[in-house]
Amino acid sequence: MPSVKLRASRILSEYGAAQSELIGSAVVLTDGKAGTVENVWLDELHGLRISIEGHDGRWPVSTIKFPED
């Protein structure tokens, strides 16, 4: 497989893994909003963004924390 296609395939594979890991997880945003990850998007300008059930908007994945058990 040409290197460009291989890199693209790896990116899509990692995106799928991130979706599987994040969707349904309980998170807290740095601004205090909390809930369950509803969806994950790949934003060409900002990277991964998430939405949280019950809250309008999409946030960068870098702003989430996982609650400690």
Q: Which domains does the chain have, with CATH numbers?
A: 3-65 (2.30.30)
pTM of the model: 0.77
Please report, in angstroms and rounded to a whole number, the separation of the first and last CA atoms in the chain: 43
Mean residue pLDDT across the chain:
88
Give pLDDT, residue 35.
92
* Residue 21: partners with Cβ closer than 8 Å, 6 or more residues away: none
User: How distant, in Å, are the alpha carbons of 16, 47, 58, 63 from that of 33?
Assistant: 25, 20, 12, 10
Q: Which of residues 40 and 1 earns the better pLDDT score?
A: 40
Q: Span 42-46, mean pLDDT?
A: 82
Give pLDDT, residue 47.
84
Q: Which of residues 14 and 69 earns the better pLDDT score?
A: 14
Provide the token pair at 67: 């609650």
Q: Span 31-54, mean pLDDT?
A: 89
